Amino acid sequence: MIMLLMTMITVTIITTTGIATTPSIITATAMLMTTNEPAGAGRLTEREAAALYRLMTWLSPAFPVGGFSYSSGIEWAVEAGDITDTATLANWLDAMLGDGAGFCDATFLVQAFLAAEAGDEARLRDTAELAVALVPSRERQLETTAQGRAFIDIARAAWNADGLDAMVAACAGPLVYPVAVGVVASAHGVRLEPTLHAFLHALVSNWISAASRLIPLGQTDSQRVLASLEPAVAATAARALSATLDDLGSATFRADLASLRHETQYTRLFRS
């Protein structure tokens, strides 16, 4: 709490007839006084704190799903000259977010989360199967299924939850990364909206990390690209939350070609 203290000063005036004192406001001095009471303090519940801790851990670059090994076709795009600097990188990633893998992965995460939350095994299985079928290239399929498998295995080993094994078994096949995140978050009672935003942030951060080594970019430029994509991440999350599986679609043909051509690229640092 901040209090504003106004001071009044009494001035002594000397005249020829004597001394008189007249109260007069000469100035008002603003003094900031603070108290120990926090403004608008809101404490996390034990459940909310646990959910935040797990979400930050699962989608941290340090979580061992092997994301650093994949570039999602960016390696070929750099070699082909499509991505050369911060501006071309930001444009490429903006398209991937809104019109390509970003939106599709976000939608699959939402649908998998909702199916798992409702205990609808048939819907969850259909979502998982469609997510695998719509991956545009062999290398991208390796990328997303390997990360999905690693995410499930590590999350279960460290933070198992009641019903998680049954949800995974219901998928009856490989899980792509966004489906795995949706299933695990639902099993742990983590809210959908922050899970989705954290997932998209991690996805974009991994793309930028790959590009920073390929172009290369400095750390400050990398953060500028990440900051410039904040509105695109928010817009993609909003679309995915209201989308259905019928709304899925991609128009990033150049990015899809990049992931295909990476398979035969002569020199490679990344697996996709």
The pLDDT value recorded for residue 17 is 42
What are the per-10-residue average pLDDT scores of the chain (272 residues)?
Answer: 39 42 43 48 86 94 93 96 97 97 98 97 96 94 96 93 90 94 96 98 97 96 98 98 96 94 92 92
The pLDDT value recorded for residue 36 is 56
| CATH tag, 46-236+250-262 | 1.10.4190.10
The pLDDT value recorded for residue 25 is 42
The pLDDT value recorded for residue 90 is 98
The pLDDT value recorded for residue 42 is 76
The pLDDT value recorded for residue 261 is 94
Domain boundaries, the chain: 2-34, 46-236+250-262
Phi and psi torsions of 161, nearest 5°: -140, 150
